[in-house]
Amino acid sequence: MIRHRPSIRWQAPLLAAAALVGAAGVARAHAVLLESKPAAKETVPGPDVDVRLRFNVRVDAARSRLSLLLPDQSVRELSLDAQTEPQSLACRATGLKAGAHRLRWQVLATDGHITRGEVPFDVK
């Protein structure tokens, strides 16, 4: 009886394609910031500013953090509102003075990875 084995020529491309599809699925699960309010480099009226971040995947609000780097270089932790959408975080920053601010975020995504970033904005 003659057994036919698949050609190595066909195995390598199939394995490579499977690896790419698998890697794309993992990369898609990392939290990527899609939209922020205030937007990056936006100037907003103060002293109170509504903050909203929307990500490409669901984030765990209980294990996520938002803070502000203030114009005097001090840091203020922000208290998150109850999560109304699984891929969003929101809060209200109050009593902000005029100047450059940086919204710092750190979130835990559904894939178990923590991602972080900053959104610079100005208060007038």
97: domain CATH number? Answer: 2.60.40.1220
The residue written with tokens 């114009």 in the block is 71
Number of domains in the chain: 1
- Answer yes or no: is 112 within a domain: yes
Read off the pTM. Answer: 0.75
d(CA 65, CA 58): 15
User: pLDDT digit of tens for each residue in the chain (124 aa)?
Assistant: 555 555 555 455 444 444 444 444 444 568 999 999 999 999 999 999 999 999 999 999 999 999 999 999 999 999 999 999 999 999 999 999 999 999 999 999 988 999 999 999 999 9
Structure tokens at 1: 């009886």
27: amino acid identity, one letter: A
Residue pair 30/57 in contact by the 8 Å Cβ criterion = yes
Give φ, ψ of 48 to 5 degrees.
Answer: -105, 135
Residue 42: domain span: 31-123
What local confidence, expressed as pLDDT, does residue 23 receive?
43
Report the alpha-carbon distance of residue 120 to residue 42 in Å, rounded.
8
